Chains A and B, each alone.
Chain A
Amino acid sequence: MIQIRHVILLLLLCLPLAGQAALEIRITQGVEGALPIAIVPFGWQGEAQVPEDLAAIIGANLHRSGRFAPVERQAMPQRPTRADELDFPAWRGQGSNYVVIGRLQPTGADRFSVQFQLFDVAGGRQLTGYSIPVERADLRRAAHMISDIVYERLTGERGAFDTRVAYVSVTGQGSERRFALQVADADGHHPRTIFRSAQPIMSPAWGPDGRRIAYVSFENGRSEVFVQNVDGGDRTRLAAFEGINSAPAWSPDGRRLALTLSRDGAPDIYVMNLSDRSVTRVTQSRSIDTEPVWMPDGRSLIFTSDRAGQPQLYEVAVTGGQPRRLSFEGRYNGGASISPDGRRVAMVHGVGGGFRIALLDRQTRQFRVLTDGRADEAPSFAPNGSMIIYATSERGRGILAAVSVDGRVHQRLVLQEGEVREPAWSPFRD
């Protein structure tokens, strides 16, 4: 069994954003054997106060991945900002394997240049280094990009720090309840509301280009599927057939949308061609068929069905045909999310009266429960497949949490006010 160390670390990442609640991220479990790395505070040549502590953002990102153990600033033997100031023997003595240094320079009105370099302490050599021109509003993004570069250079896996998370937030009680579809940076910062309603919002799904989100809104008194541009706010109603219109999922090429409709009777899976809005029926059963997700090759869908009595996962060709059952452990499996390589399926797994996030490895058939909550749901893979974000509850309040696919790293994201649910991790920003 893997040894787990509890690292109760409170990272207060909340900047006062006018009228918007930020997410606070708490890392509840870390991993033994995380790589020691030093992110030295970046040099600043400007007149005024340093506009953003980039090193702190990078350190928090790397720490959150569970694969790095950033060195505390008090423990740093020196705080170099240029390569020729680096004292490698001192860092060897301190115990860091890697050191990141950098500089932030103003280049104009609200414009900056960020330079950074990553060094291997043992070899005393530079591994990578970049210069990034950036506007003031994008300084945090520059830190996320640097985190991605460092992460990829040292793990061999693409980083997912410069990505976003969409989720539904709920504030107020009873008839005062208000729903909002929000998009925040992957570290919980900079939440923005892209749609607000007095009626429920459900099931946000990112288009593969990361520019569009499909979701379910009850604004007209029943479930209908909408698509909205994340940046422009352009909004279209895609599905408003009789009965249920829900569970949108984009095809990998972004040209089709799988969804659940009950217009022909019981809820079944359909595929809508987005260019002409034509709809093709994929499943035909008297059971509840819902929650379709696409395999990365775009040829088949995984969905939830209770055709055998209880909800279980099935796979079916997009062209239709006989579905094949995928999940066999326990009496309730639903809400699938597929890893970007198509190998793993995360799901909501009913166990002992509660619901947890479980992972099925389709190659080895290994089935593993990753979380230990009572009401964990809505798993969504990070675009690099390293983590799964999901909804859970803490003292009766809906919050978001994330777990690494190996189950070793756990973190919680808490909205300051109200509750959050149904997270959807964005694709990479290309």
Chain B
Amino acid sequence: MRSSPVISRSLLFVLMAIVLLTLGACASVDKTATTDPVVVGDVHGDDRAQDDRYPGVETTPLGRDGRLTADALSDPSSPLSQRVIYFEFDRDDVRADYVDVVAAHGAYLARNAQTRIRLEGHTDERGTREYNLGLGERRAQSVRRMLMLQGASSDQIQVISYGEEMPAAMGSNEQAWQQNRRVELIYEGHRR
């Protein structure tokens, strides 16, 4: 199969993005691991736990993978820190302003084959509950497809739809509806 020059260019771009993201992720791991293995308070990985022997002190294990840890995901300047993708009314395509975010997550998953993610699809309250269950799934599936385009594998990704049953915001107005039309990306073993 021949790919057009345009596609080749985007592939190149994506590959560069993956390399850069991976380097960035590694750098942040190294910093944490070498300079201060016992961290107090300011690291927000999910695996932190209160140490019974030293009250007020938290230890941050590096995680199963050993190379990339929660830190890459919790770097607030990384697109990976964005874990909620919002949608337009009755639409299931990922908005242009979220394409880079989803691509970053796809690249991260591709480089971390042990990492698993759950995509929770949600809708606003308008329309029937059962139809919205289908729409929530369709939104999560379109995020899933984009993740897989970046090299994430299907067995890393679990898709669940909650339809309109788990609103992020209460209320029957556009402001609440906007916050409820979403897909939440939840990394296994990491805090939301």
Contact = CB atoms under 8 A, between A and B. Distances in A.
B17 interface: no
Given A222-B160, A244-B161, A375 B125 contact: yes
B160 A290 contact: no
Interface string B72-89: 000000000000000000
Contact of A377 (B129, B163, B166, B171): B129
What is the predominant secondary structure among interface residues of chain A facing chain B?
strand
B130 interface: yes
Interface stretch (A68-76, A229-237, A260-268, A319-327): A260-268
Interface string B151-192: 000000001111101100011100000000000000000000
Given A266-B138, A375-B172, A393-B172, A202 B128 contact: no
Interface string A243-266: 110110000000000001010001
Contacts, number: 81
B162 A200 contact: yes
B131 interface: yes
Interface centre among B138, B160, B162, B165 (most CB of A within 10 A): B165
Contact of A422 (B129, B133, B159, B166): B129
A246 B133 contact: yes
A348 B130 CA distance: 12
Given A288-B131, A304-B128, A244 B137 contact: yes
A328 to B, nearest CB: 18
A222 to B, nearest CB: 5
A311 B127 contact: yes
A173 B128 contact: no
B61 interface: no
Nearest to A291: B130
Given A202-B130, A290-B130, A375-B172, A267 B137 contact: yes
Given A218-B165, A243-B159, A244-B161, A267 B134 contact: yes
A60 B126 CA distance: 34
A247 B137 CA distance: 15
Contacts of A260: 130, 133-134
Contacts of A202: 129-130, 133, 163, 165
Contacts of A335: 128, 130-131
A283 interface: no
A151 interface: no
A3 to B, nearest CB: 33
Contacts of A306: 131
A221 B160 CA distance: 8
B109 interface: no
A223 interface: yes
A200 B96 CA distance: 32
A385 interface: no
B176 to A, nearest CB: 11
Interface in B52-105: none
A203 B162 CA distance: 13
Contacts of A375: 125-126, 172
Nearest to A201: B165
Q: In the A-B complex, list the 7 residue pairs whose CB atoms are closest, starting with the nearest.
A: A288-B134, A200-B165, A335-B128, A267-B134, A334-B128, A247-B130, A290-B130
30 contacts: A173-B170, A202-B129, A202-B130, A218-B162, A223-B133, A243-B137, A243-B159, A244-B134, A244-B137, A246-B133, A247-B130, A260-B133, A260-B134, A262-B134, A266-B138, A267-B134, A290-B133, A291-B131, A304-B128, A304-B131, A311-B128, A332-B127, A334-B130, A335-B128, A350-B127, A355-B126, A355-B127, A375-B126, A396-B172, A422-B129
